[in-house]
A and B are shown apart, each in its own frame.
Chain A
Amino acid sequence: QKEVEQNSGPLSVPEGAIASLNCTYSDRGSQSFFWYRQYSGKSPELIMSIYSNGDKEDGRFTAQLNKASQYVSLLIRDSQPSDSATYLCAVQGSGNTPLVFGKGTRLSVIA
């Protein structure tokens, strides 16, 4: 059973702070790693993808991958109230194999 684990939160951070979201996965064959943002009642929105060990930065977002530890993280710098949402970690094997999602971490950015 392929599993993705996330702390459900809520994670509360003050506006302007760094939010750190973490995820572990069970399948060592996973090759692609994604972070989605989901506002209440809406569909998931892809915000970051990462495929190799290390860091990947895109604007205020940094994804980190450590395949040896089977660990993925997302850092959000200068957090804004509009970042308040549920963040879903998802992993995928080769090609178009099904995405396996975690339960998501609810982030609340306090103004």
Chain B
Amino acid sequence: ETGVTQSPTHLIKTRGQQVTLRCSSQSGHNTVSWYQQALGQGPQFIFQYYREEENGRGNFPPRFSGLQFPNYSSELNVNALELDDSALYLCASSLPGQNAYGYTFGSGTRLTVV
């Protein structure tokens, strides 16, 4: 059973709307990374949060934003949704400086934009 919980598991949004996805990190993990996995593709890095600050960002536009809270849980917000935003969104928690061997992935949120 994973220690990282993502919610919701599935949702459907209309183009142009805004969406918030949530991730609770594994106990003791204060770093959260978010990935987008489009159908038939590998996950792509969106950004990482450490101690409530963005600590690295991939090639995603500013309408993708995030937050990390004092309890290390995190949110991914996407504004002005586009059809291509339809994907599985994954979060992974870890300890700072730990490589991916220490990542714990959540089960993901499947977002469909219509």
- The chain A residues found within 8 Å of chain B, CB to CB, are 4, 8, 31-32, 34, 41-46, 49, 88, 90, 92, 95-104
Contacts and interface: CB of A to CB of B under 8 A. Distances in A.
Interface centre among B35, B40, B42, B99 (most CB of A within 10 A): B42
Given A96-B94, A98-B33, A43 B101 contact: no
Given A41-B110, A43-B90, A43-B105, A99 B98 contact: no
A46 B106 contact: no
A96 B31 contact: yes
A103 B40 contact: yes
Interface residues of B, number: 28
A101 B99 contact: no
Interface in B35-58: 35, 40-45, 48, 56, 58
A101 B99 CA distance: 14
Contacts of B58: 98
A12 to B, nearest CB: 18
Nearest to A104: B42
A101 B44 contact: yes
Given A96-B48, A101-B43, A101-B44, A90 B106 contact: no
A32 B96 contact: no
Contact of A98 (B48, B96, B106): B48
Interface of B: 2, 31, 33, 35, 40-45, 48, 56, 58, 88, 90, 94, 96-101, 103, 105-108, 110
B68 to A, nearest CB: 15
Given A34-B101, A96-B99, A43 B108 contact: yes
Please list the 7 inter-chain residue pairs (A to B) with the smallest Cβ-Cβ separation, ordered nearest first. Answer: A101-B42, A98-B45, A43-B105, A95-B97, A32-B99, A103-B42, A43-B108
